[in-house]
Amino acid sequence: MLLTGGVLLALTRGVFLDTWWMRLSLILLLILGVLYVGVKRSLQNLVATERNLGEAPFVKPALWMICGTVAGIVYLMVDKPW
């Protein structure tokens, strides 16, 4: 998503950066990165301490938030509502 968004901005010389759907997509991409890093660290911590997934209450809701964030980015990039 980052690569295709960057290519889109490069080909249009930044014209799409003035649109709200592109700005919101970039913000959602940053949120996606934060969620991914949080899940990755939680899972690495679980593996290092040999605990069960049930002991990490953050992981499951964060994975659902990642799915929702990706769906939101796809919606904004396909439908361009503004």
What pLDDT sits at residue 55?
82
User: How far apart are the C-alpha atoms of 26 and 32, rounded to whole Å?
Assistant: 10
Residue from 73, 70, 40, 71 nearest 58 by CA: 40
What pLDDT sits at residue 77?
83
User: How far apart are the C-alpha atoms of 27 and 66, rounded to whole Å?
Assistant: 13
- Residue 50: what are its φ and ψ, rounded to 5°? 55, 45
Q: DSSP class of residue 52? A: -
Low-confidence residues of the chain, pLDDT below 70?
82
